[in-house]
């Protein structure tokens, strides 16, 4: 994957039976447009393609990315999304959250 020239989007080799895109940092919903130009907006969910019976018959994703790749799929249009290389892995898809004030040590009063 490499950024397209003059843009922050990444070029991804397409699979024969699947449309593949790279998630933008923090992206949680599909940004694929239909024939009328309307956004799909479906939620991106982690897709465990090794357990999917239809994908086992096709086998494109396993051949391209291996048996344990991190792949997300739109729940409506079934577009596949790869994780963004700029985004840290292992974070909750809902975001980093806020730092708790309960775990901080507050210095004592002088005097």
Interval 58-104: pLDDT, tens: 889 999 999 989 999 999 999 999 998 887 665 555 555 555 566 66
Spell out the alpha helix ranges (H) of 9-107. Answer: 53-58, 60-65
Separation of alpha carbons 20 and 64, rounded Å: 11
Q: Give the rounded distance of the alpha carbon of 7 from its chain centre.
A: 19
Q: What value does the mean pLDDT take over residues 36-45?
A: 93
- pTM for the model: 0.71
């Amino acid at each position: 994957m490499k950024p397209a020239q003059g843009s922050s989007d990444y070029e991804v080799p397409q699979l024969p039976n699947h449309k593949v895109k790279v998630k933008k940092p923090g992206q949680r919903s599909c940004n694929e447009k239909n024939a009328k130009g309307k956004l799909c907006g479906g939620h991106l969910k982690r897709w465990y393609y090794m357990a999917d019976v239809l994908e086992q018959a096709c086998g494109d994703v396993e051949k391209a990315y291996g048996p344990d790749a991190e792949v997300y799929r739109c729940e409506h249009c079934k577009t596949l999304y790869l994780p963004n290389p700029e985004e840290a892995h292992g974070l909750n898809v809902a975001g980093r959250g806020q730092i708790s004030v309960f775990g901080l040590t507050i210095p004592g009063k002088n005097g």
